[in-house]
Structure formats: C-alpha cells, structure tokens
Chain A
Amino acid sequence: MDCKEFREVLDLYVDQELSFDASTAARIHLNECSTCRRAERELIRLRRALKLVVSQHQPSADLVSAVRRITQPRWRRLFDITKRKPNAADVARARRSLWRETIKLPMPVFMLLVIAVVTVTVVFTRRRMFSAPPSAGVYSKTEAIKPADLGPPFEAADLSRFDHGGRASLYKELR
C-alpha cells in the first residue's frame, strides 16, 4: 500500500470499517510512513475534538420532564402542563413536614386507628343506653300492683253495677 492508497482508505481505517487484510496492510504502511502517521493522528484528534464540542450541550430539565410526560395519556398530559418536577429543595421541605417530624406514623395506619376508636366508642355507648336498669321512683308498667299498695279497704257501696270486672270487682273479691 502506498500513500495515495492509504489516503483513500484513511476514513475507513480510522472508523474501523476496513476488512482484516486491508487494515493490516494499512497498519504496515503506517509503520513505514511518518507523513501518513501524522495524517491519521490529526484525523483522530478531529474526532475527539468533535466529541468534546458536542458533549458541551445538555438537555434542560424542562425538556427531560416534557419527554417523560410523552408516555402519559393525552388527558393527563394536558393537565400536567403547569406541573413541574419537584426539585431537591421541594424534596427536603417535604421531608421536614410537621406530620413526619411529630407523629412519625404512616397516614393509613393512623386513619385505621381513628376509625377503630370511633367504632368502639359508638358501640359501647349504644349498649349502655339500652341495657341500663330504671332508676328508683320511675313508674314501670312491668311491676305488678300489689293489694297492699292500694291502701286499707274501705266500706263502699255495691259498685258492681258501675263497672264490669274492673277495679270495684277486685276490691270486692279482696274483701
């Protein structure tokens, strides 16, 4: 391989697109020719410089979040237009929230506890309300009327004609 042939395949050689035989021939020529070695070195430097130049640019956070939103349904994307991704300061603020600092209990567990306490309180209250005995002095229909409570018997006219098996009859029987 001479210099002219090498220059024709220089790009392919640097890009590792040559066949094994052609690559070997190019390498042999490079060992012999300092001018072509310099040419190869310059091309490799250009490649590196290009990489450096291109790598200077970085996508903005807005672009990254916009691309991530692409996978969301259309309606959600519409509503998420103003929603921004929380940054480090937001995360730190959330970590310092009053709830986390003071109670240190997961919210679902806390809610379950509250529901349990309320249920138990309601059940006991209702049971107490309906099963309590009547207090003294309160009239109850369930108690039988004793003759002694009616006071001493009194002479009375024959009242049987005024009622029919009522209280007059009862007095009569008792006497």
Chain B
Amino acid sequence: MRLLQRGRTKRFEAVAVPHLADVYRFARQLENEQRAQDLVQETYLRAWKYFDSFRPETNCRAWLFRILHNVWRDAGQRARLEIPLTEKEETLIEPYYDWEDEFLKNELSMELERALSQVPALYRWAILLADVEELSYQEIAHVMNCPIGTVMSRINRGRRTLARLLRSRDAELIKELDEIKDESTRSI
C-alpha cells in the first residue's frame, strides 16, 4: 500500500508538478497574486485527489487547466464577467479588419497586461489558452467545456477586443500629447 502511494506521488511529481509555473502564470492573468496562489493550490489539491482519473496518453497541462477552470468557475468568478455574452455573440465570428495598423509598440508590456485584464474573462481564457499555452481548439473546448465553435468565436472576439483596447490606449495617449502640445504653444 505504501509502495503504491509512493509510486502515485512520484508520478504526480513527474507529470503534474512541472506545469506549476504555467498554471500559476495563467491564474495570475485572472486574479491578483494572493487569489492566484489560492487558485493554484486548490487546483493542485483537486488534481492530486483525482489523479487516478488522469490518462497518461493525454495532455496533462490541458487537464490541469480544465481543473483550474472548474476551480475558478466554482469560486464564482463567472458572475464577475463584465460583458454578458448572448448566444448570437458567442456563435458569430467577426470579419473585422482590426489588424491593418501597427498598434503594438515594443515597450507595451504594462499596457498590454492592463488591456488584457479589461478583456471579458471568458474571452481572456480563450486567447490565453490559444496564444500563450498554444493548446489546440479541441483541447480549449475540453478545458472550457464548450463547443469548438464557441471557442473560435471567443478567440476571435477576445483578440479583437484586446486590439481595440490597445488602440484606444494609443488614441488616448495621442490625445493627451496633443493637449500638452496645445497648452505649451498657448503658454509661449
């Protein structure tokens, strides 16, 4: 019995624990530092509890993100979604021409993180799983427990929302600079 337990522990440490940093970084984009730590601990507690149900031939990272999604959902974060998603919004993909101008600057890490925090949580989940964790749409659908069409829609809308937030940040910055310029010319 003790040997079995030791083998289970070793497998868990070899398979699940190495993804701790990924899970934490992901949780950090959803919550503040303390809440992210709580989410990660709860995720790993559940992962350890249900580790026997994990199939070794599947993607452990995706399995952990699915648990994280459940933990996060159970914590009532879904109620904090800023923009309510209607069925129409969920299923349609926007053919917007959002990528033509260069809205990304080299020194944008802070702005990008701020903009990302303003993206609705479910869109944020989708774009982080696709762009940062590089999971396939099938895996994202499994993690978020939704149809693959919904995943495509969320990724599409999430990226465009993020791009618009960054662009509006630029527009505000240009406006501020113009105001400063106007004031300085007036004072001269």
**Which residues of A come within 8 Å of B, CB atoms?**
4, 7-8, 10-12, 15, 17, 35, 38-40, 42-43, 45-47, 49-60, 63-64, 66-68, 70-71
Contacts and interface: CB of A to CB of B under 8 A. Distances in A.
Main SS of the interface on chain B?
Answer: helix
Contact of B131 (A38, A51, A56): A51
Contacts of A57: 24-25, 28
A62 B29 CA distance: 19
A50 B97 contact: no
B156 interface: yes
Contacts of B163: 42, 46
Q: What 10 A-B pairs are tightest by C-beta distance, nearest first?
A: A39-B99, A59-B24, A42-B99, A47-B131, A57-B28, A71-B9, A8-B95, A7-B95, A67-B44, A50-B131
B20 A7 contact: no
B37 A63 contact: yes
Given A49-B108, A67-B20, A54 B26 contact: yes
Interface of B: 9, 12-13, 17, 20-21, 24-26, 28-29, 37, 40-41, 44-45, 48, 93, 95-104, 108-109, 112-113, 116, 127-128, 130-132, 136-137, 152, 155-156, 159, 162-163
A47 B162 CA distance: 11
Contacts of A11: 93, 152, 155-156, 159
Given A46-B162, A63-B40, A67-B17, A51 B104 contact: no
Main SS of the interface on chain A?
Answer: helix
A49 B114 CA distance: 13
A67 B9 contact: no
B29 to A, nearest CB: 6
A67 B22 CA distance: 14
A64 B48 contact: no
Contacts of A71: 9, 12-13, 48
A49 to B, nearest CB: 6
Given A50-B112, A54-B132, A55-B25, A67 B99 contact: no
A58 B40 CA distance: 12
Nearest to B158: A11
Contacts of A42: 99-104, 163
A114 B135 CA distance: 62
